[in-house]
Structure 1
Amino acid sequence: MRKSDKKLDNQICKTLTVVCETALEHIYGFQWLTHRVDYQRFPASLKITCVFTDESDLERIRMQHEDTSLRNLISEALADIGIQLANPEAQIRFDSEDACEASHQGNWARRLG
């Protein structure tokens, strides 16, 4: 990773940490989020995964349109540091601890890889 990539990654991490803290306070069932990126294809390669406790939490946030609110929160926070997501619906996804446990025995690195 180039020095400029590392600097940008640090900015993304700080920004997403603030989003995570906000989501933990305001969205029931939200647990954590992470990102993956290939800086050779940035920003199109930026993928953010928001993790909830279980599938019922995911269904609830979709029914209450909190998924849209969380996507907007992430997109706006990234825009504040100069990163525009071309396709937030594809670049920000939702998952659950239960789904990872069921299909990947809780191995998030394998699931996200």
Structure 2
Amino acid sequence: MQKTVKKLDNNVIKALTNVCELAKRKVSGFQWITHTASYDRFPASLTVICVFDTQASLEQANVEEQDIYLRRQIQTQLLKVGIKLKDARHHVRFDSEQACEAQNNGNWQLRIKTH
């Protein structure tokens, strides 16, 4: 990984870690967060995945507009490290441990590649 790409990735990780710690305390059922990016097309290629424990928790979060809250937090934290997203709705996805287990036998690497 080139030095500039490594620094960019570290900034993404720093921002998303802040979101993750906050979300674990404030959003019921939230478990963890991850991201993928092709840094030659960054930030357009950035995808952030927020993972909940169950589909029911994810659906309840949507009802309570926690998806909007999480997108805003992600956008805010990324902006703090100098990364501007045009529209967080295109960059942030939501998933659940339960769905990964049922559809991909718990293989998150496979699930992230195919979704």
- For the superposition of Structure 1 and Structure 2, which TM-score range results when normalised by the shorter chain? over 0.9
Name the counterpart of 1:53: 53
Name the counterpart of 1:65: 65
Q: Which runs of 5+ in 1 are unaligned?
A: none
SS of 2:44 mapped into structure 1: coil
Query: Offset of 1:36 from its aligned partner?
Result: 0.5
SS of 2:106 mapped into structure 1: coil
Query: Offset of 1:15 from its aligned partner?
Result: 1.4
| TM-score under structure 1 length normalisation | 0.97
Q: 2:43 matched to 1:38?
A: no
SS of 1:111 mapped into structure 2: helix
Task: Give me the CA root mean square deviation.
Answer: 0.7
- AA of the residue aligned to 1:49: I
d(CA) in 1 for partners of 2:79, 2:15: 10
Query: Offset of 1:81 from its aligned partner?
Result: 1.1
Query: Offset of 1:87 from its aligned partner?
Result: 2.2
d(CA) in 2 for partners of 1:13, 1:82: 13
- AA of the residue aligned to 2:68: T
Kindly, what percent of the aligned residue pairs are identical? 47
Query: Offset of 1:86 from its aligned partner?
Result: 1.7
Runs of 4+ in 1 over 2 A off after TM superposition: none
| TM-score under structure 2 length normalisation | 0.95
Q: Which runs of 5+ in 2 are unaligned?
A: none
Matched positions, count: 113
Query: Offset of 1:80 from its aligned partner?
Result: 1.1
d(CA) in 1 for partners of 2:44, 2:28: 29
